[in-house]
Amino acid sequence: MADIYLVGVGGQGIITASRIIGDAAILAGKNVLLSETHGMAQRGGSVVCTARIGEVYSPLIPDGQADVILSLELLEALRAVCKASKKTVVVSSSERIVPLSVSTQKLKYPTLEEVRRDVTEIAGEFVSIEASKLAGEAGVPMSSNIVMVGALAGTGRTNLDRKHFEKAIEMNIARNVRENLAAFSKGFDALSRKNRT
């Protein structure tokens, strides 16, 4: 049983990330339910997908119940914190997509340290990784989402094997499969290294 709450900004590839998680679960022989945000997903708004692996009926994750919150954007990690509790690990990309409200309503975009402080008040753990830099190093700068799937696998909280994720990436990514697998690997290592230290 693993509840994964994925958040980000429309256009970041969050639905693809959720499908990879879904296929990995199916490859591992587990039941899985995903919920997707469609319609306005490409219009730059906050986007939520969920993946629940195990015997559940609804794909919605009750507040405080997420095992992992996977955020493709720093501010969105904080916005998702209602789904966290002490059992939750929050993994966020350090990428900042400044919403228009920061410019127009003169609101403040929080710093990494502020996000860490506020998230860890509720969640068990907060880890940030430079997903976009790692994706660039892998040769696919647009594949931060794949780096983040790697990071999710690296948390060890999904009970799915690495090979299932890798196969699922091959099933869902049409171009630059090798580079995307490298992106996955970089995300995986970033998290599993953190787990060791």
Partner 1 sequence: MLLLGNEAIARGALEAGIAVATTYPGTPASEIGDALARVAKDAGIYFEYSTNEIVATEFAVGAAASGVRALVSMKHVGLNVAADALLTFAYTGTRGGFVLVTADDPSCHSSQNEQDNRYYALLGGIPLLEPSSPQECYQMTKEAFALSEKLELPVILRTTTRVSHVRGPVVVGEIVPGPKKKEFVKDPKRFVTVPAVARARHLILLERLREASKLADGSALNRTYKIGTGGRSGIITSSAAFNYVMDAAKMLGMSADVLKLGFSHPLPTHLIAEFLKTHDSVAVVEELEPILETSIRAVAQHEGLKTKILGKADGAFPQAYEFDQAIVASGLVKAFGLRGEIAKTVSVDLQNLPVRPPVLCAGCPHSATYFAVNKATNRKAMFASDIGCYTLGVAPPYSAADLLVCMGSSVGTAGGLAKVNDQPVIAFIGDSTFFHAGIPGLINAVHHGHKFLLMILDNRTTAMTGHQPHPGSDKGPSCCDITSVSIEEVVRGCGVKWLKVVDPYDIKTTTDTVKQALTQNGVSVIIARRECALIVKRDQKGAILKKQYIDQEVCKKCRTCVDKFQCPAISSVDKVQTIDDASCAGCGACAQVCPYKAIKEAR
Residues that bind partner 1 (CB under 8 A): 9-10, 18-19, 22-23, 26, 31-40, 42-46, 56-60, 62-64, 75-76, 78-79, 81-82, 84-85, 98-105, 107-110, 118, 121-122
Nearer of residues 13 and 59 to partner 1, judged by Cβ: 59
Nearest approach, Cβ of residue 178 and partner 1 (Å):
22
Nearer of residues 114 and 156 to partner 1, judged by Cβ: 114
Axis-axis angle for helices 144-155, 14-27 (nearest 10): 40
Nearest approach, Cβ of residue 38 and partner 1 (Å):
6
> What gap in Å lies between CA 132 and CA 148, rounded to an integer?
9
> What gap in Å lies between CA 60 and CA 45, rounded to an integer?
19
Nearest approach, Cβ of residue 80 and partner 1 (Å):
10
Query: Would you report the helix, strand and coil content of the chain in percent, each value rounded to 5?
Result: 45, 15, 40
Nearer of residues 57 and 197 to partner 1, judged by Cβ: 57
- Residue 61's Cβ-count burial label (10 Å; 0-12, 13-18, 19+) is buried
Nearest approach, Cβ of residue 137 and partner 1 (Å):
17
Nearer of residues 100 and 174 to partner 1, judged by Cβ: 100
Distances 137 to 27, 42, 98, 131, 143 between C-alpha atoms, Å: 28, 26, 24, 10, 11
Nearer of residues 34 and 191 to partner 1, judged by Cβ: 34
CB under 8 Å to 111, separation ≥6 — which residues? none
Nearest approach, Cβ of residue 85 and partner 1 (Å):
7
